């Protein structure tokens, strides 16, 4: 994400940044609706809210609940899909989230940092389908890594907030 944003900046563009997960296949075109509120100036960052997926996942919602609860405690914002990687944001919003959280914690970090900067976040329904992780060992290990990274992002932002206060 940082590399892509730097490339855009080097080429002098001030256009919003659109981040899209790689596993959307032909539905990726549906992310275009994320740009509308940002281009219209009614949001500084939009987050895709996906419909029910055709393929059911094997998780129990532990990572989603950790992310949603952490964002709410940090900002008061209740995210529908806090781990959604499909986002459009202004350069100002992107810069407010620097340095980005590591790994799977990046979305949670973006949301908290943008909101704490006093910027506006809007959730936008998108007709997207993505590859859902299953219930096998590999998928469980993936969710474990997500949990670790989300927890790290939340802790780093909690420490940053405490440092600013004290």
Dist. CA 131–CA 37, nearest whole Å: 27
Dist. CA 51–CA 138, nearest whole Å: 25
> Can you give the pTM of this predicted structure?
0.92
Please state the domain count of the chain.
Answer: 1
Q: What is the pLDDT of residue 11?
A: 92
Which of 130, 152, 138 has the alpha carbon at shortest distance from 51?
A: 130
CATH of the domain at 12: 3.90.550.10
CA distances from 57 to 21, 52, 60, 124, 136 (A): 17, 11, 9, 22, 11
Q: What is the pLDDT of residue 38?
A: 98
Q: What is the pLDDT of residue 111?
A: 98
Q: What is the pLDDT of residue 52?
A: 84
In which domain, by residue range, is 59 found? Answer: 2-165
Q: What is the pLDDT of residue 140?
A: 84
Q: What is the pLDDT of residue 10?
A: 92
Q: What is the pLDDT along the chain (166 residues), one digit of tens a residue?
A: 999 999 999 998 889 999 998 888 889 899 999 999 999 999 999 999 998 877 776 667 899 999 999 999 999 999 999 999 999 999 999 999 999 999 999 999 999 999 999 999 999 999 998 777 777 888 889 889 999 999 999 999 999 988 887 6
């Amino acid at each position: 994400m940082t590399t892509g944003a730097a490339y855009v900046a080097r080429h002098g563009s001030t256009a919003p940044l659109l981040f899209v997960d790689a596993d959307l296949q032909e539905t990726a075109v549906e992310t275009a609706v994320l740009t509308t509120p940002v281009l219209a100036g009614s949001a500084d960052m939009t987050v895709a809210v996906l419909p029910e997926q055709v393929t059911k996942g094997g998780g129990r919602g532990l990572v989603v609940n950790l992310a949603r609860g952490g964002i709410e405690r940090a900002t008061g914002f209740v995210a529908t899909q806090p781990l959604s990687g499909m986002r459009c944001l202004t350069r100002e919003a992107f810069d407010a989230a620097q340095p980005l959280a590591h790994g799977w914690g990046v979305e949670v970090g973006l949301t908290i940092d943008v909101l704490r900067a006093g910027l506006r976040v809007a959730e936008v329904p998108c007709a997207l389908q993505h590859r859902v992780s299953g219930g096998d060992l590999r998928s469980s290990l993936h969710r474990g890594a997500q949990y670790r990274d989300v927890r790290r992002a939340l802790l780093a932002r909690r420490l940053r907030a405490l440092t600013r206060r004290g």
